[in-house]
Amino acid sequence: MTYNEVKKELLENPKKWLVTGVAGFIGSNLVEQLLKLNQNVIGLDNFATGHRYNLEHIKSAVSSEQWAKFEFFEGDITDLAFCEKITQNVDIVLHQAALGSVPRSIDNPIVSNASNATGFLNMLTTAKDNGVKRFVYASSSSVYGDSQELPKVESRTGNLLSPYAVTKMLDELYGGVFEKTYGMETIGLRYFNVFGKRQDPNGAYAAVMPKWIAQILSGEDVYINGDGETSRDFTYIDNVVQMNILAGTTTNKDAFGEAFNTAAGGRETLNNLYRAIADGLKQEIPKLEIKEPIYRDFRAGDIRHSNANIDKARELVGYEPTHTLQEGLRESIAWYINDIKGSM
């Protein structure tokens, strides 16, 4: 089925979803879309990286009747008893909770492993024990490591370059084994540089897109790691939401136990991205001063080039990106400008 057909089916036949990491960037966008489809949603977060105000953003974006279908629990996925409780009477799990960021994992691999490996296994095991059949989880393009092949194809990865990549590859291995051993319908989504509304621009491990937008708007210096010719497959949040919902509802058995590139299928350098952000902000705020970026050393653990082949996702679950980088960037810039004005 197409995405529109899936959404129509969900409106007619609601399901009960569990979304982990709901106060985060991706999790909050998932919950918003599910509630707009009149689904029943359980959410959890420990607020390690998520924000309570994202829950308020969701509440303001949906009707009071839809908001009443949402139940929130504060807790940690490293707590096995909590995972056992939260996975009861659920149809579909969308597991987003994790400690993201390659640099964070290099700085503290123990903490990253606790969340991304132990916490993941806690959720997967308790979901299995409580009879949850469908378990969709966030993996990462970092599993491609030092592979030079472009575009990236799911069946061929390289040597891993960070503890974060190790944890995500481990998740995929567990997902495949649980499908084979227990018959769970597991599906991994290899996210490629996701961006969009509610992505936090602050903190040492902030993603480049919101960080640059916020820095330009506030007149701060903007730093580019390396020569700026590093390239990425920047993927707008609406594409990621679509892929999660398709993975959560597909009846194609060939998709179970597999991992899928979740991307736009494009490729852009950091230099070109900076110029596109600057131009987009200048269109909205003509008097805005645009500084030249400052270049510094390459960052440890970073992949040089990243670009996804999305044929597998198209063929097995009907994925079709709705937003290019340029389209997503326009929506993101408008959202951040309004968000920053609203906080002033």
Tens of pLDDT, residue by residue over 230-289, are 999 999 999 999 999 999 999 999 999 999 999 999 999 999 999 999 999 999 999 999
Task: Choose between 279 and 303: higher pLDDT.
Answer: 279
Determine, yes or no, domain membership for 270: no
Model pLDDT, residue 344: 38
Looking at the structure of the chain, the number of domains it has is 1
213 falls within a domain: no
**Can you give the pTM of this predicted structure?**
0.95
> What pLDDT is stored for residue 304 in this prediction?
86
Within a domain: residue 223? no
Residue 300 has pLDDT above 90, yes or no: no
pLDDT at position 205 over 70:
no
Residue-number span of the structural domain to which 134 is assigned: 3-192+237-265+303-322
Instruction: Please give the helix or strand (H or E) that residue 208 lies within, else none.
Output: helix 208-218
Q: What is the pLDDT of residue 339?
A: 77
Structure confidence at residue 204 (pLDDT): 65
Q: Per residue in 10-53, pLDDT tens?
A: 999 999 999 999 999 999 999 999 999 999 999 999 999 999 99
CA distance 36 to 58: 10
- Check which CATH number belongs to the domain holding 65 and give it: 3.40.50.720
The answer to whether residue 106 sits within a structural domain is: yes
- Which pLDDT does position 133 carry in this prediction? 95
| pLDDT surpassing 80 at residue 214 | yes
What single-letter DSSP state applies at residue 132?
A: -
Nearest Cα to Cα of residue 103 among 171, 203, 198: 203
Arithmetic mean of pLDDT, 168-194: 97
- Kindly state the helix (H) or strand (E) to which residue 195 belongs, with its residue range: strand 194-195
Q: Is residue 161 part of a domain?
A: yes
In a domain, 293, yes or no: no
Query: Quick one: CA dihedral 197, 202, 208, 212, positive or negative?
Result: positive
| Residue whose C-alpha is closest to residue 148's, from 138, 139, 156 | 156
Q: What is the mean pLDDT of residues 330-337?
A: 93
Q: What is the pLDDT of residue 340?
A: 64
